[in-house]
Amino acid sequence: MTHPSHPNMPGESNAHDHHEGPHISSVRTLVTVFVALLAFTAITVFTAKMTDLGDFGDIVLALGLASVKGTLVCLYFMHLRYDNVFYSFLFLSCLGALALFLGLTMLDINNRDNIDPIRSQHAVPVPLDIAGRARFDEAQRLGRDLYMANCAACHAVDARGIPGLGENLIGDSFVLRSSDAELVDFIIKGRTANDPLSETGVPMPPRGGNPNLTDEQIAQIVVYVRALQPKDAKPKP
């Protein structure tokens, strides 16, 4: 005011925001922010321990409270509210980049299965109830892992077969014609190379060559192989 060279005597800094020179935070502001941060910490702990909004709700609440605390730190402790706006711009740009980074990754993780043949095809009738649907998805997922570990070496990762080793399984008449139980039975027994029914002359070992595969696991593999079939596939006459 009267003497810009000594603008900030102790205790008067906050009252005169329009003085020349850098802004000096008042003790009251800093203490208030500190107490508010402590209070929000207590609220965060309390709500996380006492309330149950479901997994997602709890996370949103905790992150929301953390964001409030973070904003207070940025505005008052880091002085962004009083400082050059360009620093705020820099920091917000960074948060925008972070949001893109997290957001697009989550979109990917959330939707990756949608372009997987498992989810896009509906060759197998899908149980309507949610629990059944969940069991069905689980069986497919387990079946895929089992397929990759036990079958893919001969029948190929995409189940289209490898010449001189395993048959193509996609759109294959035998697969389409047989019932689930018949397919499970077939995989359990396998087929020797000189069997008259053999189409390739290559043996199919019992249980795909892995005696540790349980019948249930083989059924899961069948669920997976079924899901790979094209929607409109019909067995050749």
Partner 1 sequence: MASIPSDHNARPAAPHENPVVASHFRSKAEQEDAGKMGMWLFLTTEVLLFGGFFCAYAVFRMLYPETFEGASAKFLDWRIGAINTVVLLLSSFTVAMSIRNAQLNQQWWLRINLIITIACAIFFLVTKLWLEYWPKIVEGKLPGTFFTYSGAMTDHDQIFLSIYWTATATHGLHVLIGVFLLTWLLVRAWKLHFGPKTYLALENVGLYWHVVDLIWIFLFPLLYLV
Cα distances from 217 to residues 12, 140, 142, in angstroms, run 77, 10, 8
Q: Compute CA distances 23 → 9, 16, 17, 82, 178, whole Å.
A: 12, 10, 7, 7, 81
Options 2, 18, 86, 211; binder of partner 1; rule CB under 8 A: 86
- Judged by CB under 8 A, how many residues of this single chain contact partner 1? 50
The answer to whether residue 24 forms part of the interface with partner 1 (CB under 8 A) is yes
CB 121 within 8 Å of CB 231: yes
Query: To the nearest whole angstrom, how small is the minimum distance from the Cβ of residue 65 to partner 1?
Result: 7
Q: Which of residues 42-81 bind partner 1 (CB under 8 A)?
A: 44-45, 48-49, 55, 58-59, 62-63, 65-66, 69-70, 73-74, 76-79
Does position 4 interact with partner 1 (CB under 8 A)? The reply is no
CB of 159 to partner 1, least distance (A): 25
Work out how close the CB of 126 gets to partner 1 at its nearest, in angstroms, rounded to a whole number: 23
Instruction: Indicate the DSSP class of residue 191.
Output: B
For the bound state, the minimum distance from the C-beta of residue 127 to partner 1, rounded and expressed in Å, comes to: 22
The tokens describing 30, both together, are: 């800093």
Closest CA to 30 of 42, 46, 13, 16: 13
Contacts of 219 (CB under 8 A, 6+ apart): 139, 180, 184
For the bound state, the minimum distance from the C-beta of residue 51 to partner 1, rounded and expressed in Å, comes to: 11
1 touching partner 1, by CB under 8 A: no
Distance of closest approach, residue 6 Cβ to partner 1, in angstroms: 9
Backbone phi, psi, residue 41, to 5°: -60, -45
Considering only residues 93 through 122, tell me which ones interact with partner 1, judged by CB under 8 A: 93-95, 97-98, 101-102, 105-106, 109-110
**Amino acid identity of 67?**
S
By the rule CB under 8 A, 30 interacts with partner 1:
yes
Instruction: Specify the DSSP class assigned to residue 53.
Output: -
Q: For residue 217, how many other CB atoms are within 10 A of its CB?
A: 20
Determine contact, residues 171/229, Cβ cutoff 8 Å. yes
Residues 200, 165: Cα–Cα separation, whole Å: 8
> By the criterion CB under 8 A, which residues form the site for partner 1?
8, 10, 13, 22, 24-25, 27, 30-31, 33-34, 37-38, 41, 44-45, 48-49, 55, 58-59, 62-63, 65-66, 69-70, 73-74, 76-79, 83-84, 86-87, 90-91, 93-95, 97-98, 101-102, 105-106, 109-110
